[in-house]
Each structure stands twice: as structure tokens, then as C-alpha cells.
Amino acid sequence: MSEITAVKGREILDSRGYPTVEVEVTLASGHTGRMLVPSGVSTGKWEAHELRDGDASRYGGRGVRKAVANVNGELAEAVIGLAADNQAFLDRRMIDLDATAQKSRLGANAILGISFAVARAAAAEAGKPFYRYLADAYRIEGDLRIPLPMVNVMSGGLHAGGKLDVQDYMVVPVGASSYPEALEQVSAVWQATRVVLNASGYEAFLVADEGGLGPALNSNEEGLEILCRSVEQAGLKPGSDIAIALDVASTHFYDPTSNEYVLGADGSRLTSEGMIDRLEKWVSSYPIVSIEDGLAEDDWEGWRRLTERLGERIQVLGDDLFTTNGERIQRGIDLNAANAVLVKSNQIGTLMETVEAIRLAKFAGFRTVISARSGETEDDVLADLAVGLRGGQIKIGSLTRSSRLSKYNRLLRIDEELGGAFEGGKVIGG
Ligand code: PGA
Ligand code: ZN
């Protein structure tokens, strides 16, 4: 494997039209790799730092020229000459150079771009598709399979202009026997949801950041009702064909001064215990198989009780809670505070740390869901990452917009290469 000879960063735009970092890496062999870095808005406090310029005269302060300058300057200087297939050494060098806890000096967006671009250049030199390169390099146990998708249908919270508190209403094709069939069923539900919303007097426009519908429903439960009706309208059975997954993203409506969860759409102010009661009621009334961020990012004791009460029945999934951070995942394992980890590589900032997070979760028997951000690009790397690292499940967003479809479509191609290998509902207990 040859060494890195050039690193080039540039500022590009993401699916929200905000600047983000792109990195291209060239190896001595002439092979190249590129990475387009995603970006969230419903971010966790413990995430690695996304470096933005803060200069309000450009993109309202969202420019990433400083991060790009770090890619082209200090970081390039530190990694040029390193072997492209020693990811641990490369990532460690960048982490040490940054020398802050949350990669805030050089920017996790700068570091992640190089980390992945180098791995993709190495895959190109090895003559392997990226998922195969990852599978061979990291050897996480299990067959290579297309992960079970949880697909956004309606959005609330910070991703949509409506009044819903719950951020993501998703469907999970637990009954599908192949990945193409899963997409077909989810698409039918998606079309049916527009019909059901219109018939209920709601305007079903595409307004949300992940390509989903953003209706101004009257309560959070109404969203669950509408999802079930849409599944039936599509000729499918709620529960056995299509189950429901929620990302409550409750950190963003938790009030730390009163220690209450403030559900504006339902007119409720709930304690941690009250919030768990509310989630349990939803789980008992609707075919929910997974709840992400049902409680706030630092409510560890609440998470422990939530898992005690619902962990046998559903997937208790931590996003803002864990932020793909090994130390936080370990704490969650020790406390029994969840049973699954959402994995977003830009929350932690390097490929190596992403792999470590997945290994840690799997070793403890936790499930993993490999996830996109609400701000995405045409880059399809997430599909290869989820297959190659045996993610089991994937969360990309809705079945609209090319920033989402680039990944769903890449999975169709990988599925073909693997001769049809779908994870299916069993990964989530279906
Ligand atoms: P984000 O949202 O990318 O805006 O953080 C996604 C999520 O909360 O899962
Ligand atoms: Zn989330």
C-alpha cells in the first residue's frame, strides 16, 4: 500500500444549502479517495466539534473556510507520507495534533474528511469496493448483508416547521424478505401517507430536512395514528409487515431548569418518570419497535429506568446520549441505560473511532444503527459503511431527495453484488 502524497480540501454545499467540507486524497500509486462531510442540526452536546467560521458576512457564519484551511495546511502536512492503510496511526496522529477533547481546534469536519478520504483511496488501490475493504480491514463478525432501514415518513422537532415534538416518525419494513421489496413497501406507505394526510385535512408538502412530510398535526399521538392508517391504506399490516420507529430527540424539548420534558403539541410537562410512562403508553398502543432518544442526553438514571421498563419489548436507542463516543457508550453498557447505539461518524470525527464504537456496542450485545445526518450530500459512503461494518440497521431519512436516495440506491447495487442479502426484521426482533 502506497503513501499519501496529496490532500486537498474545499468548501461545498450540503442538502440544506449550508457549507460543508469535502476532502480529496491522492496516494503515490495515483489512486484517489474523496469524502463529503455531513452535518446535523439536532446535535448532542457531547459531539465532536464542527468548526465553522462564525463570520456573519458569509453564509450567516456557517462557512467552513477555517476547517478547509486546516485540511490544506496543518493536517495535510501531518499526514502526507503516511501509509494509507494504517488507519489507526493516521487517525491517532490527527487526534494528537488537534489535542482537544472534542476536536475543536482543527475541527471534526476537517479530520473526518481526511480520515474517510484516505480509507477510500486505500480501497481504490486495493481494487475493492469500499464496503469490502472495510469488511476485510476490520473483520467485525457476521455475514455481509444489506441493513434493515428505518425510513423517515414524517418529521417534527428541529427538522420541520410544524408543531410536533417528536422529530422522526419512521417505518421499518420488518416483514420484507428482500431489500428491493422493503423499498417497494416503504414507498407504498409513503405515498399512502400523503393521501391519508390530505384526507384528514392536512397539507402534505415536503418540508422537512430529511425529505419527509412536515404536517402540523395536533398531537404527537396523531402522528402514530396516521402512520398506522397509512400502512393499512397501502395494503400492508401494521406490526407484522411494517413496524414503527421513533426518534423522539427529547434533549431538544427538555427544560433543564425545571427538569421537565415539555411536549408542546400535547400540552404536557412531564418528569423523567412521566415521560417514560408516556413512551410506554405509545409502545402499548402502537406497533413501535424502536425509540431513539426517548429521554435527554444526560438523564442517565432515566435511561436506566426506561431500559428496565421497555428494553425487553423494544430497541432503546441512544443518539444524543452516546454521540458515538466510546466512553459514553461504555457508561451506557455499565448502567444498562439502553440496548442500541446510533452511529454517526461525524459525532466522533474519525473512521477508527467509529469502528471502535461499533465494536464496543456489539461486544456488549447492543445493536447498532448506522445513521446519516439531517444535513447530507450526494456522497453514498454511508451505505458501504453500514454493510462493511455489519451495522445491522441503517437510518438515512426519507425516500425522497437525492441526498437520501444516493445511499438507498447504492444499497440496491451492493445488494445485487452480494446476490441478494437482506438483514430483514429479525435484527430488530421481528
Ligand atoms: P441531526 O438529526 O442530524 O440533525 O442531528 C438526526 C438525528 O437526530 O438522528
Ligand atoms: Zn436522533
* 13-67 confidence digits (pLDDT tens): 999 999 999 999 999 999 999 999 999 999 999 999 999 999 999 999 999 999 9
Q: How far apart are CA 197 and CA 149, in angstroms?
A: 23
Q: How far apart are CA 153 and CA 149, in angstroms?
A: 12
Ligand 1 in reach of 369 Cβ (< 6 A)? no
- State the pLDDT at residue 430: 55
Q: What's the CA angle centered on 87, arms 123 and 29, to 5 degrees?
A: 45
Ligand 1 in reach of 374 Cβ (< 6 A)? yes
Task: Supply 152's cell numbers.
Answer: 423517515
CA distances from 339 to 314, 319, 362 (A): 9, 12, 10
- Closest of 222, 220, 275 to residue 251, by C-alpha: 275
- Where residue 429 falls among pLDDT bands split at 50, 70, 90? confident
Please say whether the beta carbons of 85 and 122 come within 8 A. yes
Ligand 1 in reach of 332 Cβ (< 6 A)? no
Q: Compute, in angstroms, the gap from residue 347 CA to the centroid of ligand 2.
A: 11
Q: How far apart are CA 192 and CA 199, in angstroms?
A: 10
Mean pLDDT of 388-415: 98
Q: Is 30 left (phi over 0), alpha (psi -120 to 50) or beta?
A: left
Mean pLDDT of 183-189: 98
Residue 230 host element (H or E): helix 220-233
Q: Compute, in angstroms, the gap from residue 52 CA to the centroid of ligand 2.
A: 22
Q: Which residue has the higher pLDDT, 207 or 91?
A: 91
CA nearest ligand 1 atom 1, residue: 40
Mean pLDDT of 60-86: 98
Active site residues: 210, 344
Among 14, 343, 344, 407, residue to substitute to test ligand 1 (most atoms within 8 Å of Cβ): 344
Mean pLDDT of 137-164: 92
Which ligand 1 atom sits closest to the C-alpha of 342? 9
Q: What does the pLDDT look like over 362-371, one tens digit per residue?
A: 999 999 999 9
As a whole number of Å, the end-to-end CA separation of the chain is 43
Q: Residue 328 pLDDT more than 70?
A: yes
Residues 6+ apart with CB under 8 A from 206: 212, 213, 214, 400
Which ligand 1 atom sits closest to the C-alpha of 293? 8
Q: Residue 322 pLDDT more than 60?
A: yes
Question: How do beta strands 268-270 and 315-318 pair?
Answer: unpaired
